[in-house]
Amino acid sequence: MKCPHCEAENRESARFCRACGRPLVAAEDVASAPEAAISEEFTTEGPIEPVDSGVSATEDTGPPPTTPEQEAQIEEMPADTTLPEAGPPTEQMEPLTEESPPETPQPAPALTVEERIDRAAPARGAEEAGPEPEAAPPAQVTAPPVEDLLSVLEPGTKVAGRFEIMELLEHGAEANRYSARVLTICPQCGFEDNQPGDEFCRDCGVDLSQAGPHGLRELREAHSPEAIGADPSEGIPHEGRFYLLLPATEMVALPPAEPASPQGMRLSVGYGSDVGMVRDLDEDSLCVFTLTGMYESVAEPSVGLFIVADGMGGHEGGEVASKLAVEIVADQLIRNVLLRRFTEEEQPLGEAVRAHLTQAISQANERVYRLARERANDMGCTLTLALVLDGQAYIANVGDSRTYVYGRGGLRQVTTDHSVVASLIAAGMAEPEELYTHPDRHVVYRAIGGKSAVEADIREEGLVPGDTLLLCCDGLWEAIREEGIEDVLLTHFDPQAACDEMIRRANQAGGEDNISVILVKVGKIAKS
C-alpha cells in the first residue's frame, strides 16, 4: 500500500506509514479513488519518476543533442574520421540528464591484466613512484588476532540491520557486552514486522526512534555459543561475529557503586499531571517541595517532599479528597520535619521521621473520612510520597499509587500495591499479567478516607548520586507498564522531559485514566 502523503510503499495491512507515521488510506478508500490518483506502478527498480522532457515516454527522441563543447571537438577532428553511431554510454560520455533518458547498459569489455593493475595502483606523482612494489604473497587463512575479535564497536554501529549500538557495558576476555537500540520492534505496541529504515511503526504509528535499548553480547569467533549454554539458532551473525540478545537484567552497566554523598547533594525535579483521553476531570493532586541552603559556597544537603494522590469518587469527590490529603500531609511534614533541618539543632531522624509520617497520613485519613460522611459520598484517594533527608528517602504509600527507584540495577518498585489483584498474584491465585487485565484490577483494599483508620507502608531507601525516584498513579504505570517507564528513563535524561514523554505515551496508549508522575534525580553539586 502506498502512503498518500509521502508515497512510501507499505504492506497492505499497515495502518500507519513506516516513513512518515501518518495514517494510511484504507484499502476500500484506495479502490474507490480516481484512477488517475493510483495509476502509478512500481517496478523492480522502484517507482517511475515523471520526466519533464516535453515528449511522451514512448516517443523516439533520437540521439541526444550535442553540447557546444562536443561540436567544437567534432570540428577539430580530421575529415576522414568516422563518428560512432549512438549507442550505450561509455566512461567518456557526459553523465545522464533529464533530457537524455538512460539506455540499457551493456557489459563493459574485459580488462587485461596490465589494465587491472593500473586501475588498482594508487595515484602518485612521478617523483614519488619509486620502484615497483613486490607482488603480495598469497593470502593465508589464519585465525584473526584476539585484539581484532575483541575490538569495541562504536556507538551508532548497525548490527545485522536490527540493532544500533548505544554504549559498551563490558569489555571482557571472551565477549563484549553492549546496550543497543532495536530498530525494528515497536517500543509501544511490540509490533515486530517493522523493517530497518522505518521511522514510524507500521502498526500503531509511534516514533521508532524512541525505542529503548536491549542488551547484546558479542562473542569471540572461537568462543562457541554452546560453551555458554546459548542456542545458536537464537543468535545474530554479523560480519564474522556472533551476537546474543541479553535479558533485561543484564542490560545495565554496573560500575563500582558511588558512596552516598549527602554533602552537596542536588535534587532535580520534573512533574506533570494530565486528565487523559477518557475522563473529563483530573482528580489527581501533586506536591513538589525542595529546600537547599548554601553557606560560604558550601551547599547543605538538599531536602524534599514529593507526593502523588490519586482521587476516587467522581466529581466533587475524588479531586476534593486528593487535594485535602496532600495539603494536610505536606503541612505536617514541612513544618515538623523539613524546616527543622534549618531552624533547630535537634533534627528528627530515623524512627522520629517515621512517626511524623504515620501521624500526617492518619490526620489526612481522618479529615477525608469525616468529610465523606458529611457529604454522604464515597470520596477517597490513594497516596504515595517520598521524604528525602541526608541521602535517605522515607517512602510511604496507601493504595496502588507507586514509588520506584531507578539506578544501577534498573527500575525497581519499592512500594506494595494494596489492591485485590496484587493480593491474588502474591498468593499464587492469579498470573502477574492479570494485573493489567483482571476485571477487579482497580479495586483497592486500602485508601485515604475509606475507613476511620488506615495503615500506611513505610520504608527507607538509601540514595546515591545517579539514582532517580519516580512517583506515579496507576494511570501511568498501567498504561505504559514498567518496560515503557524504563525506556523513557534510559533515553531522556532531563526529568521534566522524561515526565512529559511518559504522559504522552500513556495518552497514546489510550489515556483511560488520569496520569500523574514526579521524577526526582539525585546528583552532586560540582565543587568550585
The confidence score (pLDDT) of residue 320 equals 96
Specify if 64 maps to a domain. no
Distance of CA 287 to the CA centre of its chain: 27
Phi and psi, residue 386, nearest 5°: -135, 125
Walk along the chain (528 residues) and give the pLDDT tens digit of each residue: 788 888 888 777 777 777 777 777 554 444 444 443 333 333 334 444 444 444 444 444 445 555 566 555 555 555 555 555 444 444 444 444 444 444 555 555 555 545 544 554 444 444 444 455 455 454 443 444 444 445 778 777 887 777 777 777 776 655 777 777 777 766 556 666 777 667 777 776 666 655 555 666 776 554 455 555 555 555 677 776 777 766 544 554 444 444 444 455 789 999 999 999 999 999 999 999 998 877 777 767 789 999 999 999 887 899 999 999 999 999 999 999 998 877 776 677 888 999 999 999 999 999 999 999 999 998 999 999 999 998 899 999 999 999 999 987 889 999 999 999 999 999 999 999 999 999 998 899 999 999 999 999 999 999 988 899 999 999 999 999 999 999 999 889 899 999 999 999 999 999 999 999 999 999 875 544
| Domain, as residue range, for 487 | 265-524
Same structural domain for residues 408 and 287? yes
The C-alpha cell at 480 is 505504559
> Do 352 and 425 reside in the same domain of the chain?
yes
The number of folded domains in the chain is 2
311 shares its domain with 205: no
Q: What is the CATH number of the domain that holds 451?
A: 3.60.40.10
Residue 216 pLDDT: 67
Residue with C-alpha cell 567518456?
A: 92
CATH number at 198 reads: 3.30.200
What pLDDT score was predicted for residue 523?
86
340 belongs to a structural domain: yes
Q: How many helices (H) and strands (E) does the chain have?
A: 10, 20
Helix (H, G, I), strand (E, B) or coil at 310: strand
- Is the pTM for the entire model greater than 0.85? no
Place of cell 565477549: 175
308 in the same domain as 241: no
List of residues 6+ apart from 32 with CB closer than 8 A? none
- Domain boundary residue among 189, 215, 250? 250
pLDDT score for 100: 44
pLDDT at 176: 76
Q: What is the largest CA-CA distance in the chain?
A: 115
Among 201, 220, 250, give the residue marking a domain's end: 250
Place of cell 567544437: 72
Do residue 379 and residue 230 come from a single domain? no
For residues 221 and 370, membership in a common domain is answered with no
> Which residues, at least 6 apart from 7, have a Cβ–Cβ distance to it below 8 Å?
47
- Which of 193, 222, 250 lies at the terminal end of a domain, its last residue? 250
Say if 327 falls within a structural domain: yes
Phi, psi of 68 (to 5 degrees): -55, -40
Nearest-CA neighbor of 414 among 475, 467, 493, 470? 470
Angle at 458 between CA 457 and CA 460, to 5 degrees: 145
Angstrom distance (rounded) from CA 250 to CA 252: 6
Looking at the structure, tell me whether residues 233 and 379 fall in a common domain.
no
pLDDT number for residue 177:
75
Tell me, yes or no, whether 275 and 340 share the same domain. Answer: yes
Query: Can you give the C-alpha Rg of the chain in angstroms?
Result: 34
